[in-house]
Chains A and B, each alone.
With several copies, the nearest count.
Chain A
Amino acid sequence: MGKIEIDPLRWKEEVLKKYPKKVAKKRDKGILVHDGEMPKQIMANVRSIPGIITARGCTYAGCKGVVLGPTRDIINLVHGPIGCSFYAWLTRRNQTLPPTPESENFMNYCFSTDMQDSNIVFGGELKLKQAVREVFEIFKPKSIGIFSTCPVGLIGDDVHAVAREMKEELGINIFGFSCEGYKGVSQSAGHHIANNTLMKHVIGRNDTAPEGKYKINMLGEYNIGGDAFELERIFEKCGLTLVSSFSGNSTIEQFERAHTADLNVIMCHRSINYVAEMMETKFGIPWFKVNFIGADASAKSLRRIAEYFEDAELMARVEEVIAEEMAIVKEAIETVYPRTTGKVAMLFVGGSRAHHYQELFSELGMSTLSAGYEFGHRDDYEGRRVIPTIQVDADSRNIEVLTIEADETRYRPRKTDEEIAALNAKGCGFGEYDGMMADMAKGALIIDDISHYEMEKLIEIYHPDIFCAGIKEKYCVQKMGIPLKQLHSYDYGGPYAGFEGAVNFYNDIDMMINTSIWKMIKAPWQVEPVIEAEYGV
Chain B
Amino acid sequence: MAATSSFTEGTSVFGGQANLLQAIETIFTVYNPDVIAVHTTCLSETIGDDVNQICQKARTEGYVPEGKFVIHCNTPSYVGSHVTGYANMVTSMVKHFATVSTTPKNQINLVAGWCEPSDMREMKRISTQMGIKTVMFPDTSDVLDTPLTGKHEFYPSGGVTIPELVSTGDSKFTLALGSYSSEDAATLLETKCKVKFSVLDLPIGLQATDKYVMALSRASKMPVPDSITADRGRLVDMIADMHQYLYNKRVALFGDPDTLVPLTEFLLSMDMKPVYIVSGTPGKKFETAMTNLLLKKVPEAKFKNGQRADMFLLHQWIKQEPVDLLIGNSYGKYIARDENIPLVRVGFPILDRIGHSHFPIVGYQGGMGLIIKILNAILDKEDRECAEEKVELTM
Interface Cβ pair total, 8 Å cutoff: 227
Q: Which residues of A have CB within 8 Å of B20? A: 50
A154 to B218, CA, bound (A): 52
| A54-B4, A515-B240 as given contacts; A150 in contact with B42, CB under 8 Å | yes
Q: In the complex, are the beta carbons of B221 and A537 less than 8 A apart?
A: yes
Within 8 A of B (CB), among A78-92: 80-84, 86, 89-91
Is B42 within 8 A of A81, CB to CB?
yes
What's the Cα separation between A182 and B271 when bound, in Å? 45
Residues of B29-66 whose CB lies within 8 A of A: 29-31, 41-43, 45-47
Closest approach, in angstroms, between the C-beta of A150 and any C-beta of chain B? 4
The answer to whether B148 touches A18, judged by C-beta atoms less than 8 angstroms apart, is: no
A171 within 8 A of B: no
Asked whether, in the complex, the Cβ of B152 is within 8 Å of the Cβ of A456, the reply is: yes
Which of B74-82, B95-103, B183-191, B286-294 is the contact stretch?
Answer: B74-82
Given contacts A50-B4, A50-B5, A508-B244, contact A492 B394 (CB under 8 A): yes
Distance (whole angstroms) from the CB of B337 to the closest CB of chain A: 10
On whether the beta carbons of B394 and A53 are closer than 8 Å, the reply is no
Question: What distance in Å separates the Cβ of B308 from its nearest Cβ neighbour in chain A?
Answer: 8
Per-residue A-contact encoding for B209-242, CB less than 8 Å = 1, 0 else = 0110110011001111000010011001101110
Q: Are B9 and A476 in contact (CB under 8 A)?
A: no
**Chain A, 182-226, CB within 8 A of any chain B CB:** 182-185, 226
Q: A19, A86, A95, A520: which contacts B236 (Cβ < 8 A)? A: A520
B334 touches A108 (CB 8 A): yes
Closest-CB distance, B142 to chain A (whole angstroms): 13
Cβ–Cβ < 8 Å partners of B389 in chain A: 95-97, 226, 229
Bits for B151-169, please: 1 = Cβ < 8 Å to A, else 0.
Answer: 1110000000000000000
Q: Is B207 an interface residue (CB 8 A)?
A: yes
Interface positions, chain A 222-250, Cβ under 8 Å from B, are 226, 229
Would you list which residues of chain A between 488 and 514 have a CB under 8 Å from chain B? Answer: 489, 491-493, 508, 511-512
Chain A 393-404 interface 0/1 with B at a Cβ cutoff of 8 Å (1 = within): 011001000000
Q: Is the CB of A511 within 8 A of B77?
A: no
- With an 8 A cutoff between CB atoms, is A535 at the interface? yes
**A117: Cβ under 8 A from any B Cβ:** yes
**Which residues in B have their C-beta under 8 angstroms from that of A478?**
148, 237, 240-241
> Residues of B with Cβ closer than 8 Å to A?
1-12, 19-20, 22-27, 29-31, 41-43, 45-47, 76-79, 81-82, 146, 148-153, 206-207, 210-211, 213-214, 217-218, 221-224, 229, 232-233, 236-237, 239-241, 243-244, 247-248, 268-271, 280, 307-308, 312, 331, 334, 351, 388-390, 392-395
Top 6 nearest A-B pairs by Cβ distance?
A51-B26, A51-B23, A81-B77, A83-B77, A50-B23, A81-B78
**Given A51-B22, A181-B43, A517-B269; 9 other pairs, CB 8 A cutoff:** A20-B29, A89-B393, A93-B392, A476-B152, A479-B149, A516-B270, A520-B269, A530-B214, A531-B221
